[in-house]
Amino acid sequence: MSTATSPVRHRADLGEMDADSRAYMALQPPPPATPPSPEAAREGMRRARPFNQPDLPHVACVREYQVPGPGGTIPVRYYRGVSTLTDEALPVQVYFHGGGWVIGDLDSHDWVCRAVANAANSAVVSVDYRLAPENTFPAAYDDAVAATKWVAANARLLNIDPSRISVGGDSAGGNLAATVAIALRDEGKIKLRAQILTYPIVDLTFEYDHRFEKGVALNNGGMRDFIDKYVPDVSQRRDPRCSPLFAQTLKGLPPALVILAGYDPLYDEGEAYAARLKNEGVAVTMSRYPGQMHGFVSRPKLLPKSLDAIADIANFMTAHQ
C-alpha cells in the first residue's frame, strides 16, 4: 500500500463563479435536509436531463451489448462518430458515467458520448456498471475492468483498433477510468493510449473545503453520502482500487487529460493527482474551468462551457490516437 497522504490544503482564492453557473444555481430548488434515497436521486437525474441537455446529436451507429461480468452481465452502449467510415477500425474511448457510483446510467451520459464520438471521429463504448448501495465496492471497479477487457477482446465485432483504446469518465466515472488504467498497467496485456479524467474522485479520505458545504451543484455532504454508499467500510477507503491517489506508484500510466471545475469539492484532489502523475513521469494535460461547477460537462444546455470541454477531450484523443 502506498504511503501517500491525503492532500488537505485548499486554494486560498476561488475566484468568482461565472455567470452561467450562478444562473444555473438560481434555478435549483433548495437542497433537501437529508440526502435523498438512491431511487429518488436516480429519478431526479432522469427528470433533469431534458433541462440540462439539448437534443441528442446524430451519430453513425449506436448498438447495445451485454458483456459478461463478475456479477452478471454488464450493459454497454457502442457509438461511432457521424463522420467515420463504415469499414474503418476506429480508436475507442471506454467511458464510465458519473453519479457518485450511485446514480447515472447509459442514458444520463448519452449526449456526452455522442458528442465525444462525433468530435473525435472515434468510437465510444459507455459502460453501465453496477451501482451502490445495492452493489458496494469493488463492484463498479470490477465491472469497469471487465468491460474494458471485453472491448479489447472484441475489436473485430466492434470494428475498433485494439491498439488505440483509451479510458475516460467524469466524477465517479473518472475514478473508474483512473483505477482501470492502473489495473491494466499492472496486468501488462492492454496498453492504453490515454486516460481522460473529468473532475475525478481520487481520494475517498479527502477533507473537503468548507466553502463547498452549500451553493454548488455538488456539495460536501452529497459527496460524503456517495462515498458512504459506495465504500461503507471506512478501512477500505485507502485501497487504490477506489482511491488511486494511494497507489504505490503511478509510473507507466498512459498520458492523462485532467479536466477540473473550480467550484467543485473535487478540485483540490484532482490537482493533487495530476501533480503526482506528472512527478512520476506521466504526461499530463490540465484543462481548468475555474468559474464552473461539478457536472458542467453533462449540462450543456445551461452550462455551455461543456462544449469547450468536449473539444478538449476530442483534441486530446486525436493527439493520442
Q: Which residues are known to be catalytic?
A: 171, 264, 294
CB 102 within 8 A of CB 226: yes
148 vs 152: CA distance, rounded Å:
6
Phi-psi region of 137 (alpha: psi -120 to 50; beta: other; left: phi over 0): beta
Radius of gyration from C-alpha coordinates of the chain: 18
200 vs 46: CA distance, rounded Å:
22
CB 147 within 8 A of CB 76: yes
Phi-psi region of 117 (alpha: psi -120 to 50; beta: other; left: phi over 0): alpha
194-198 and 160-170 as β-strands: parallel, antiparallel, unpaired? parallel
3-state SS of 128-191 is: CCCCCCCCCCCHHHHHHHHHHHHHHHCHHHHCEEEEEEEEEEECHHHHHHHHHHHHHHHHCCCC
91 vs 193: CA distance, rounded Å:
9
